[in-house]
Amino acid sequence: MLSLHRIRAGIQLALLLVLAMVVACGLLWLGSAPPDAAELSIVEGVSIATLDPAEVSWLQDIRIVSQLYEGLYAPDPRGMESHPACSEPAERLELPAGGVRYRFRIRAGSVWSDGSPVTADDFLFAWRRALEPGTARDYSFFFHHIRGVAEYVDWRHREIERIRELPHSNGIVERHAHLRDADLHFAETVGLRAPDPRTLDVELVRPIPYFLHLVSLPVFLPLHRATVEPHRRISDAGLFYYDPQWTKPGRTAYNGPYILDHWRFKRGLRLRRNERFRAATPDAPQTVDVLDVNDTNTAWLMYETGRADWLLSIDTSFVSQLVRIADSPLPGAINTGGTIRRDIHSFETFGTYFFNVNCRPTLNDGSPNPFADPRVRRAVSLAIDREAICRDVTRRGEPPATTLVPPKMLPDYPTLSGLSFSPTAARAALDDAGWTAGKPPPEITILYSTDANHPLIAQAVASMLTRHLGLRTRLIGKEPRSYRADKQRHDFMLARGAWFGDYPDPCTFLEIFRTGDGNNDSAYDDPVYDDLLRRANECDDPAERGRRLADAEHRLITETVPAIPLFHFVNTYALDPHVIAGVQLNPRLLVQLRSIAVKP
Amino acid sequence: MIRRIATRLIQLPLLLFVIYSLTFLMIVAVPGNPFQRDGGRAISPVVEQALRERYGMQDNLAFYGRYLQRLFHGDLGRSLQYENWSCNEIIAASLPVSITVGLTAIAIATLGGVTLGILAAIYRHGACDAFALFVSILGVSVPTFVIGAGLLVLFSVTLPVLPVGTWDSPLDLVRPAVTLSLVPLAYILRLTRLGMIEALQSDYVRTARAKGLSESTVIFRHALPNAMPPVLAYLGPASAAAMTGSFVIERVFNIPGMGLHFVNSVLNRDQMLILACVLVYSAILITLNAVVDVAHAWIDPRIRVGGARA
Amino acid sequence: MTAMSSGTAAPRASATRRLLRSRRTTVASPILLGIIVVCFIGAWPAVKRSDVTSLSNARMPPGAQAWFGTDLLGRSLAARCILGGAISLAVGIAAAIFSVGLGVVWGSVAAMAGGRVDAIMMRIVDVLFGLPYILLVILLKIGLEGLLRLRLGLGHHATDLVILMLAIGGVSWLTMARVIRARMLTLLAAPFIEAARAIGVSPIGVWRRHLLPNLLDTIIVYAALTVPQAILQESFLSFLGIGVAPPLPSWGNLAADGVAAVNTIESFWWMLVFPCGLLSLTLLCMNALGEGLRDALDPRGDRRA
């Protein structure tokens, strides 16, 4: 027989427990709420991954980090130029040995948020940290333009390997000696010098025409050495690591216009104005909340109900409709002529959507690659109706692309035009390649990731290849990481790709097709192209350099076709310009909070 | 009884160890590189090697051993995706959120399910029974992402009474908890109804009625307790599932809970966070199941639940 | 012994009567049957039509030209709903068969082997129960993708569906295994089994001739309730973007697309209402039928389900 008393006692106990836990969690939750609303609430669609300038790679992280720190140079709010920021304008000096030296003078009045002055040493510390083997990341190769860096990093790797092989006790002694050597080695061989606390000399291996743009990237930001260095750990083999706790609020000092006030995981962060920032920013919002909202429909509802003031991107399926009904008063916006709303702003960005074409002679399974022949690649490019894709599939007003570098954004770079839709020319190119009607052509596979609108675009492209070229196609949709793994192994025929320019120069797009480049997913191997790039960058005259680079791109998009551009990306902001003034529609999607004013 | 508890206590770490090993095997078998970020620049093999070393992941065997070693110190590792956060911090930030939503949902499900179940059993074949049946079937027939999205629009745009996407006040709890409660509510309703129908036909209820006890006393003091054991047994795994969060609900309502990590950590190949999530989830589930089993045995000494050979 | 086995036939006949008397089953079964027939028969013509994109006809509301309207690429939503239904149902049924089969075999072997083997097999079930299933499904889905595509010479879409079926079925057999084992243990103690064993019937013979007929009720009820769960799981995976891969439709990915197509700015309501309505109606009928079956075959019901 069941024991009724025990049952009742059990139920009561369980209820009490549940109640106690709910109350406890509720208290915990209320206790962690921020005190008040910020002056400006921004919605960021993707979670912030890291606030360490050396690790930063994603746009959302770049946007926050560039509010917290100020580099020697910084992109202007319009985004296609770089201006002196923490430094006076740099002096450039040609060296007799063929290199070039930049001298940066740190501006008087540049201080950290704890009051200490920003010194050249803070830059040296941060830069060395960003290139050291233990802390180097995606962007550290930009430092390899500096004299001695590549050699230093190689030497460090060799030494670390050597120490790792040693028995433990010897290893410790060796490691100690090696680290002392490393400091010396770095100071002597690497082309970075601080003759006095306010001067930084940077010596490059060869002239890099866009070096000042590179210096304004996050990986070149300074760090407050006194508070960051104590978090350093050294591995047994002599690699430097950092305990990431230094990135949390209150742990370090900042030299940018904002400091980090709160950072709650997956909920967002709060920025507060840095009262010690070198320039006055009287109109800038005192506090800014950056909210972490992953679902785009939810983000939109937050904006519509007044919870958020600014959506940094609208990616919902209805954005096309939204763009159509809205008329943006902001300069640079492409959506004009709508009548209903004035708070939606679409603008062209410095990014291109394309399809990579595998250029290797054979596929990974050993069979011959039908796309090894450039005429076939041309045929595919000619058979894609980009206008139709932009008009009917993506529908946000994206400009159809025939070039990789977004046109009319860069000074000194001529406007090119590549292959546009022409079914007859496409068929002719295919016939030319010997794919005659008699023999059945091989099946074409199209690799894409199953997120966002990539499946729709891939399906539209596949149906165009079938219709205009009579090709059999097979769609291979994979979840993003598997897709990425396949692509890096060059395990595809056609694969969707995209690139956003890192710095405002054509090279940021053209370098990824250089032979052996880590991002050359097409496995494009063309000595002629490499040579065109090299010759262009040897050129001093900006206009002539632009023409030479354009020749290189022309070869890519019309003759050899390792990538088929489809369209240039468009981004859409939602914000009321009567409430938030001073927002610039920046093609690189950067944001400068200090130039924004919020009206009550 | 003590022996039963002791067995469970010994089993917990063993089960967790096996679960750890199994999960480990799966995460290393899945293709995709956690260090090559989507849409980001490719990183060079040398840089990747140094990164792997930093996380103690030079090779699978080293990773397996090092992580286990860390676990003994209560360290769940560092997220590979959210590089500034340790898995301990991530779980400490998100588990309380999920527990709050989950327990509220379970409380709603239990209250609603038991009430409707009792009514359905008393008025069997009546309108109330039909309504209960409808609710119970609806709960398991419409995808949560549709219900969630519907509630979101309904109560913030059509009828602007609740805030969207915030997690600052108890009001934010209402919609997610209700959405999350639908499935357990359906099950609890069904279990209560069946149990009550059976109990109301039993001899002791007839005896109680014959003694002239009032109908409410008969139902609440005699029939209900006898109908409860299956509900209690179900509550164990149901609370564990509810407390560790639901991806859909957290995403639609923008709640910073655990459920997000279950899905995102796999999609990001954040192997550390996958392991941390699995271990925390499994520990909660196994503990709750054990508690329910022990409670069940205590209530009804005849039962030997779940094949435990105590 | 034949008398013993056929003894189960009489309650089953009365169960059929009970099932037929139940009002909800009489409503649910013809609807369900209709949906299944339309989906599977309509699937053949729908295969071609469901993938004909016509960008100029995109987003057409329901009308004479397109009964259910067209989707974002101008494909006929009716064709996609029918093919999607066939795929969802096929994945659901296949996953249920896989999971029930595995559960029955596992539970039976454990119960009949007894002792150490039983203990080990049930501990494995315990361990798998302790794993978060959603994580398991995603890992299985992604992990098997590479493996199966290399090993099997299946077409791309077929591989995808097989993986999905294996992943969903692979996480839902555990309850079945437990229930079957528990039922088997009670049955094994029954006199007629002991008698059969005493006269030397082989274990497989005992299982096939005497145990299976008695387990059938439980198996049917569970199978009937597993199909809607599997279909729901597929829809959830589609919401995450790892379910049935486009261009193949499924009710799940159509509904997930539909949720995004209905909002405060523009409402292509048909993209949500048709797939989601069909999905819910089917699940509703399946659950009602499953409940009816359970009431009819197993009136006491298994309380732990």
Contact C134 B262 (CB under 8 A): yes
Stretch B32-52: mean pLDDT, rounded?
81
Stretch C172-176: mean pLDDT, rounded?
84
How far is the alpha carbon of B55 from chain C, nearest alpha carbon, in Å? 22
pTM here is: 0.86
pLDDT confidence band for A89 (50 / 70 / 90): very high
Identify all chain B residues contacting C229, using CB atoms and an 8 Å cutoff.
140
- Residue A475: which of C241, C247, C263 has the nearest Cβ? C247
Stretch B122-142: mean pLDDT, rounded?
81
Task: Judge whether residue A586 has pLDDT over 60.
Answer: yes
Q: How far apart are CA B163 and CA B155, in angstroms?
A: 8
How far is the alpha carbon of B31 from chain C, nearest alpha carbon, in Å? 7
CB atoms within 10 A of CB A80: 18
Asked if A392 reaches chain C (Cβ–Cβ under 8 Å), the answer is yes
Task: Judge whether residue C4 has pLDDT over 50.
Answer: no
Residue C61 phi/psi, 5-degree rounding, is: -70, 165
Task: Judge whether residue C129 has pLDDT over 80.
Answer: no
Identify all chain A residues contacting C247, using CB atoms and an 8 Å cutoff.
455, 459, 475
pLDDT confidence band for C13 (50 / 70 / 90): low
How far is the alpha carbon of B226 from chain C, nearest alpha carbon, in Å? 13
Instruction: Please report, for chain C, the start and end positions of each structural domain, with discontinuous segments joined by +.
Output: 11-53+66-304
pLDDT confidence band for C12 (50 / 70 / 90): low
Asked if C29 reaches chain B (Cβ–Cβ under 8 Å), the answer is no
Task: Judge whether residue A211 has pLDDT over 80.
Answer: yes
- Residue A138: which of B41, B99, B268 has the nearest Cβ? B41
CB atoms within 10 A of CB B278: 26
Structure tokens at C299: 């009136």
Contact C139 B30 (CB under 8 A): yes
Judge residue C210's burial from the number of C-beta atoms within 10 Å of its C-beta, 0-12 exposed, 13-18 middle, 19 or more buried.
buried
Contact B165 A302 (CB under 8 A): yes
CB A561 within 8 A of CB A569: no
Q: Name the closest residue on chain B to residue C138, using Cα atoms.
A: B266
pLDDT of residue C2: 37
Q: C133-151 and A480-488 are packed helices; what angle lies between their axes, rounded to 10 degrees?
A: 30
Structure tokens at C20: 């037929």
Asked if A393 reaches chain C (Cβ–Cβ under 8 Å), the answer is yes
Structure tokens at A356: 């990579």
Asked if C41 reaches chain B (Cβ–Cβ under 8 Å), the answer is no
pLDDT of residue B308: 36
N- to C-terminal Cα separation, chain B: 9
Choice between A85 and B223, residue whose per-residue pLDDT is larger: A85
pLDDT of residue A422: 94
pLDDT of residue A27: 67
Asked if C302 reaches chain A (Cβ–Cβ under 8 Å), the answer is no
pLDDT of residue A43: 93
pLDDT of residue A275: 92
Task: Judge whether residue B178 has pLDDT over 50.
Answer: yes
Q: How far apart are CA B201 and CA A436, in angstroms?
A: 82
CATH of domain B87-309: 1.10.3720.10
Contact A392 C260 (CB under 8 A): no
CB A291 within 8 A of CB A43: yes
Question: Which residues are paired to A477 by β-bridges?
Answer: A448
CA angle A554, A462, C138 (to 5 degrees): 110
Q: How many CB pairs under 8 A join A and B?
A: 194
Asked if B20 reaches chain C (Cβ–Cβ under 8 Å), the answer is no
Task: Judge whether residue B260 has pLDDT over 50.
Answer: yes
CB C145 within 8 A of CB C163: yes
Identify all chain A residues contacting C58, using CB atoms and an 8 Å cutoff.
392
Determine if the peptide bond prior to A244 is cis (ω within 30°).
no
Q: Report the run of H or E that residue A5 belongs to, with start and end.
A: helix A4-31
Q: Kindly list the distances between the CA atom of residue B129 and the CA atoms of B38, B121, B197, in Å, as whole numbers in the listed order.
A: 52, 7, 11
Percentage of chain B lying above the pLDDT 70 cut: 95
How far is the alpha carbon of A67 from chain C, nearest alpha carbon, in Å? 33
Question: Which residues are paired to A288 by β-bridges?
Answer: A40, A271
Q: Name the closest residue on chain A to residue B204, using Cα atoms.
A: A1
Asked if B27 reaches chain C (Cβ–Cβ under 8 Å), the answer is yes
Stretch C180-203: mean pLDDT, rounded?
82
Residue A273 phi/psi, 5-degree rounding, is: -65, 135
N- to C-terminal Cα separation, chain A: 71
pLDDT confidence band for A2 (50 / 70 / 90): low
Task: Judge whether residue B248 has pLDDT over 80.
Answer: yes
Residue A357 phi/psi, 5-degree rounding, is: -115, 130
Stretch B202-208: mean pLDDT, rounded?
85
Structure tokens at B260: 């997000």
How far is the alpha carbon of B43 from chain C, nearest alpha carbon, in Å? 23
pLDDT of residue A502: 92
Query: pLDDT digit string (tens) for C248-276?
Result: 888 888 888 888 777 766 677 788 888 88
Query: pLDDT digit string (tens) for A147-191?
Result: 999 999 999 999 988 888 888 778 888 888 899 999 999 999 999
Identify all chain A residues contacting C241, using CB atoms and an 8 Å cutoff.
450-451, 479
CB within 8 Å of A592: residues ≥ 6 apart:
A66, A77, A584
Identify all chain A residues contacting C53, using CB atoms and an 8 Å cutoff.
459-460, 463
| C-alpha closest to that of A468 among A382, A553, A526, A549 | A382
| C-alpha closest to that of A503 among A207, A150, A127, A214 | A214
Task: Judge whether residue C113 has pLDDT over 70.
Answer: yes
Contact C236 B143 (CB under 8 A): yes
Q: How far apart are CA A230 and CA A144, in angstroms?
A: 27
Percentage of chain A lying above the pLDDT 70 cut: 96
Task: Judge whether residue A75 has pLDDT over 50.
Answer: yes
Residue B219 phi/psi, 5-degree rounding, is: -70, -50
Choice between A559 and C9, residue whose per-residue pLDDT is larger: A559
* DSSP letter, residue A93: E
Question: How do beta strands A232-234 and A240-242 pair?
Answer: antiparallel
Asked if C150 reaches chain A (Cβ–Cβ under 8 Å), the answer is no
Identify all chain A residues contacting B259, using CB atoms and an 8 Å cutoff.
none
pLDDT confidence band for C305 (50 / 70 / 90): very low
pLDDT of residue C303: 38
Residue B77 phi/psi, 5-degree rounding, is: 95, 180
CB atoms within 10 A of CB C108: 20
In a mutational test of the B interface, the residue from C27, C128, C137, C138 whose CB has the highest number of chain B CBs within 10 Å is: C138
Identify all chain A residues contacting B78, using CB atoms and an 8 Å cutoff.
244
Identify all chain B residues contacting C239, using CB atoms and an 8 Å cutoff.
143, 145, 248
Max avg pLDDT among A498-512, B23-37, C154-168: A498-512
- Residue B15: which of C127, C276, C284 has the nearest Cβ? C127
Contact B266 C272 (CB under 8 A): no
Asked if B215 reaches chain A (Cβ–Cβ under 8 Å), the answer is no
Q: How far is CA A169 from the centre of its chain?
A: 43
3-class DSSP string for chain B: CHHHHHHHHHHHHHHHHHHHHHHHHHHHHCCCCCCCCCCCCCCCHHHHHHHHHHCCCCCHHHHHHHHHHHHHCCCCCECCCCCCCEHHHHHHHHHHHHHHHHHHHHHHHHHHHHHHHHHHHHCCCCHHHHHHHHHHHHHCCCCHHHHHHHHHHHHHHHCCCCCCCCCCCHHHHHHHHHHHHHHHHHHHHHHHHHHHHHHHCCHHHHHHHHCCCCHHHHHHHHHHHHHHHHHHHHHHHHHHHHHCCCHHHHHHCCCCCCHHHHHHHHHCCCHHHHHHHHHHHHHHHHHHHHHHHHHHHHHCCCCCHHHCCC
Contact B31 C146 (CB under 8 A): yes
CA angle A377, A378, A382 (to 5 degrees): 120
Considering only A352-356, A474-478, B74-78, which range has the smallest mean pLDDT?
Answer: A474-478
N- to C-terminal Cα separation, chain C: 32
Q: How far apart are CA C157 and CA A320, in angstroms?
A: 31
Sign of CA dihedral B273, B274, B276, B280: positive
Q: How far apart are CA A361 and CA A368, in angstroms?
A: 6
Max avg pLDDT among A192-201, B53-62, B90-99: A192-201
Q: How far apart are CA A363 and CA A341, in angstroms?
A: 51
Q: Kindly list the distances between the CA atom of residue A16 and the CA atoms of A12, A345, B107, C278, in Å, as whole numbers in the listed order.
A: 6, 53, 11, 42
Q: Report the run of H or E that residue A351 belongs to, with start and end.
A: strand A344-357
pLDDT confidence band for A32 (50 / 70 / 90): low
Considering only A101-115, A213-227, B157-171, which range has the smallest mean pLDDT?
Answer: B157-171
Q: How far apart are CA A461 and CA A475, in angstroms?
A: 10
Task: Judge whether residue A106 has pLDDT over 70.
Answer: yes
Percentage of chain A lying above the pLDDT 90 cut: 58
Task: Judge whether residue C35 has pLDDT over 70.
Answer: yes
Contact B152 A140 (CB under 8 A): no
Asked if B234 reaches chain C (Cβ–Cβ under 8 Å), the answer is yes
Place of tokens 């590979």: B80
Task: Judge whether residue A1 has pLDDT over 50.
Answer: no
Q: How far apart are CA A534 and CA B183, in angstroms?
A: 64
Asked if A340 reaches chain C (Cβ–Cβ under 8 Å), the answer is no
How far is the alpha carbon of A151 from chain B, nearest alpha carbon, in Å? 14
Asked if A249 reaches chain B (Cβ–Cβ under 8 Å), the answer is no
pLDDT of residue A171: 81
Query: pLDDT digit string (tens) for A243-289?
Result: 999 999 999 999 999 999 989 888 889 999 999 999 888 889 999 99
pLDDT confidence band for A548 (50 / 70 / 90): very high
How far is the alpha carbon of B15 from chain A, nearest alpha carbon, in Å? 25
**Superfamily of domain C11-53+66-304 in the CATH hierarchy:** MetI-like (1.10.3720.10)
Task: Judge whether residue A503 has pLDDT over 90.
Answer: yes
Residues 39-98 of B with CB under 8 A from A: 39-44, 46-47, 50, 53-54, 78, 81-86, 89-90, 93-94, 96-97
Q: How far apart are CA B244 and CA B182, in angstroms?
A: 16
How far is the alpha carbon of C154 from chain B, nearest alpha carbon, in Å? 20
pLDDT confidence band for A143 (50 / 70 / 90): very high
Considering only A73-87, A295-309, C151-165, which range has the smallest mean pLDDT?
Answer: C151-165
| C-alpha closest to that of A497 among A431, A401, A373, A593 | A401
Choice between A369 and C261, residue whose per-residue pLDDT is larger: A369
DSSP per-residue string spanning A113-151: TTSPBP-HHHHHHHHHHHHSTTT--TTGGGGGGBTTHHH
Q: How far apart are CA B303 and CA B294, in angstroms?
A: 10
- Residue A49: which of B81, B94, B251 has the nearest Cβ? B81
pLDDT confidence band for C156 (50 / 70 / 90): low
Question: How do beta strands A40-44 and A287-292 pair?
Answer: parallel
Give the amino acid at B120.
A
pLDDT confidence band for C132 (50 / 70 / 90): confident
Helix/strand/coil for A292 = strand
Instruction: Please report, for chain B, the start and end positions of each structural domain, with discontinuous segments joined by +.
Output: 87-309
**What ipTM score was computed for the predicted complex, to two decimals?**
0.85
CB A386 within 8 A of CB A443: no
Structure tokens at B49: 């090697």
How far is the alpha carbon of C256 from chain A, nearest alpha carbon, in Å? 12
